[in-house]
Amino acid sequence: MNAIEELESQVKAREVPKHVGIIMDGNGRWAESRGLPRLEGHREGSTSVREVTRSARRIGLKALTLYAFSSQNWSRPPDEVAGLMELLREYLLKEREEIMDNGIKLNAIGELDKLPKYVKEPLDALRTESAKNQGLVLTLALSYGGREELVSGVRALAAKVASGALSLDDITEETVAGALWTHDLPPVDLVIRSSGEQRLSNFLLWQTAYSEFLFSPIAWPDFRAREFAEALLHFQTRERRFGLTGAQLRRAGT
Ligand code: FPP
Q: What is the spatial distance between Cα 91 and Cα 84, in angstroms, rounded to a whole number?
A: 10
Q: What is the spatial distance between Cα 165 and Cα 169, in angstroms, rounded to a whole number?
A: 12
Query: Tens digit of pLDDT for each residue in 141-154?
Result: 999 999 999 999 99
Tell me the one-letter amino acid at 224.
R
Cβ-Cβ contacts under 8 Å for 123 (sequence gap 6 or more) = 88, 92, 106, 108, 112, 115, 140, 142
Strands 137-144 and 63-70: parallel
- Report whether residue 66 contacts ligand 1, using a CB cutoff of 6 Å: yes
101 C-alpha to ligand 1 centroid (Å): 26
- Report whether residue 29 contacts ligand 1, using a CB cutoff of 6 Å: yes
Phi, psi of 98 (to 5 degrees): -60, -40
Structural domains of the chain ordered from first start: 3-146+186-253 (3.40.1180.10)
Contacts 24+ apart (CB under 8 A), 227-233: 228/51, 228/52, 228/55, 228/56, 228/192, 229/4, 229/7, 229/8, 229/10, 229/11, 229/55, 229/59, 230/7, 231/190, 231/192, 232/11, 232/16, 232/17, 232/20, 232/59, 232/190, 233/7, 233/10, 233/11
- Report whether residue 68 contacts ligand 1, using a CB cutoff of 6 Å: yes
Report the run of H or E that residue 161 belongs to, with start and end.
helix 146-163
Closest CA to 142 of 107, 177, 175: 107
25 C-alpha to ligand 1 centroid (Å): 6
21 C-alpha to ligand 1 centroid (Å): 14
10 Å CB burial of residue 34 (0-12, 13-18, 19+) is exposed
Query: Tens digit of pLDDT for each residue in 47-58?
Result: 999 999 999 999
Closest CA to 18 of 190, 183, 194: 190
202 classed as catalytic: no
Using the atom order of ligand 1, give the atom closest to the CA of residue 45: 10
102 classed as catalytic: no
- Report whether residue 108 contacts ligand 1, using a CB cutoff of 6 Å: no
**Taking the CA atoms of the chain, what radius of gyration do you get in angstroms?**
19
Q: What is the pLDDT along the chain (254 residues), one digit of tens a residue?
A: 899 999 999 999 999 999 999 999 999 999 999 999 999 999 999 999 999 999 999 999 999 999 999 999 999 999 999 999 999 999 999 999 999 999 999 999 999 999 999 999 999 999 999 999 999 999 999 999 999 999 999 999 999 999 999 999 999 999 999 999 999 999 999 999 999 999 999 999 999 999 999 999 999 999 999 999 999 999 999 987 788 888 888 888 75
213 C-alpha to ligand 1 centroid (Å): 19
Neighbours of 78 (CB within 10 A): 9
Sequence-ordered strand ranges (E) for 73-131: 105-109
